[in-house]
Copies of this chain bind each other. A is one copy, B any other.
Amino acid sequence: MIRPGSTLGILGGGQLGRMMAMAAADLGLRTHIYAPERNSPAFDVAAEHTVAAYEDEAALVRFAKAVDVVTYEFENVPAATAAILGAHAPLAPNAHALAVSQDRLMEKTFVAELGIATAPFAAVAGETDLVGALERIGRPAVLKTRRFGYDGKGQVMIRPDTDPAEAFAAIGRAPAILEGFVPFEREVSVVAARTAAGAFAAYDLCANEHRHHILATTRIPAGVSRGTEEAAFEIARSIAEALDYVGVLAVELFLLTGEDGERLVVNEIAPRVHNSGHWTLGGAVTSQFEQHVRAICGWPLGATGRLGRVEMQNLIGDDAHAWEQVLAEPGAHLHLYGKAEARPGRKMGHVTRVYPESD
């Protein structure tokens, strides 16, 4: 078990690392951020930082030896990086969770093998595979690179009139997965935590709205049946147990509604704190950032109760210029990430609004 006064190493210097570092400091931990970019937002709230590439073995070893536990804010940590770090310090979540969530094909296969519903999918190594896969899965379908996709990048929709060759070219002819289109009604997510001792706790199901493939708003409660919410928790628990997971994870799900009621389909696993869990900062008894720190330190999980009906709104690009209005809004919680330039599509901050449950 990690004790207060120990040092938490965080790979990645963005807003997730930043909020994690503040949660760790509030619990008496020191933090050390490792990131390749100078002026990373998380550096401003950390005791130490290292600016180095994720491939810089010497820097990684020095970093791992200087801290008591290593975690990360993004799932695309290279396997070699994870292996180097893991040889010199405890790494949580573990390298297997990274490997599974980095590769859409491994991820879908892993989930399906747990008996949990996913979109129909097929591996696409080349154009020939794609034609066969389209015959089995049908159109519309989505062709996605196996690796390094996020926020809608590295994917293309295949409609009835789409030329498979062009679609494959559009994703750079990279190893891919074809996924059947899921006629979902809504996107929801579970943010949950698991400890090495097997304790598990989930926050209430989140209803997410995206704009241009980027999360725009999260609302809690999600407005689903109690049974659906429990099913989502069980999905997250099965995944966390199968990965021997330690820390906070998010499972993104599609909610389908039909004559037979609500149904959930897993879209993606994020082995880290997640944007759809930002509402917990000020909207739940324990924030996801504190919960992650508790889990990776081997501490008891915190209470996940909600403080009311909650809405989280991302401030993307120029949205952040509205900071003064948000500050003037009674009870709105403004969080800004300290990024200098408000580029389009860049997550600059978020606002959390907590309302009485009955409103």
Within 8 A of B (CB), among A301-316: 302-303, 305, 307
B323 touches A303 (CB 8 A): no
A157 at the binding interface (Cβ < 8 Å): no
A25 touches B30 (CB 8 A): no
List residues of chain B with CB within 8 A of the CB of A294. Answer: 327
Q: Mark A193-236, 1 if CB is under 8 A from B, else 0.
A: 00000000000000000000000000000000000000000000
Q: Which residue of B lies closest to A7 (CB)?
A: B44
Q: Which of B45, B303, B340 sits near A22, CB closer than 8 Å?
A: B45
List residues of chain B with CB within 8 A of the CB of A302. Answer: 327
List residues of chain B with CB within 8 A of the CB of A340. Answer: 5
B327 touches A28 (CB 8 A): no
- Copies assembled: 2
Given A5-B338, A285-B331, 9 other A-B residues pairs in contact with their CB atoms under 8 A: A22-B26, A27-B334, A27-B335, A28-B323, A28-B337, A44-B46, A45-B46, A299-B327, A303-B331
Which bracket fits the contact residues of A?
35 or more
A4 at the binding interface (Cβ < 8 Å): yes
List residues of chain B with CB within 8 A of the CB of A324. Answer: 299
A3 → chain B closest CB, angstroms: 8
Q: Mark A287-330, 1 if CB is under 8 A from B, else 0.
A: 00000001000011011010100000000000010011001101
A43 at the binding interface (Cβ < 8 Å): yes
